[in-house]
Amino acid sequence: MKKNAKKRISKIPRKVVSKPRCHGTMTESAFWSFIRSALRQKSRFWKPITECKLAARRLYKGVNKRQKYEYQCNMCKNWFIEKKINVDHIIPAGTLTTSKDLPGFVERLFCEVDNLQVLCEKCHDKKTKTDKNEKNNH
């Protein structure tokens, strides 16, 4: 065999996935992911999210002069800078994979402040993992 000769690799045939959305360029899954992402992006400007953050906020009195506020995690009760917190839905917004899921998803995503809480990144990751495990076990 020659030094630079390429080996023939048998290619496994790919499964053809239909792309019925966006002029034949998007799968059904990609379409709903696109819609879910757009809704979540707009939900950042939802007033109850701002109110939830304000309720968990206090003036920062540490050494960093540029930091104005810190936020208390609802689970571990520790204080964090804004970049290290998430506003979490107590009852998860859920999935959005079909048009039938849309009304419930929107209703849960754009909820009032009583279904929102501030969590630090660690606590938010734990809760998200727990929520996914509970969903998969049902």
pLDDT in tens, 36-79: 999 999 999 999 999 999 999 999 989 999 999 999 999 999 99
18 class by beta-carbon count within 10 Å (0-12 exposed, 13-18 middle, 19+ buried): exposed
Q: Residue 79, SS3? A: strand
Question: What pTM value is reported for the model?
Answer: 0.80
**Three-point CA angle 91, 106, 118, nearest 5°:** 40
* Widest Cα–Cα separation across the chain: 73
In this prediction, residue 11 has a pLDDT band, given cuts at 50, 70 and 90, of: confident
CA–CA gap between residue 116 and residue 95 (Å, rounded): 18
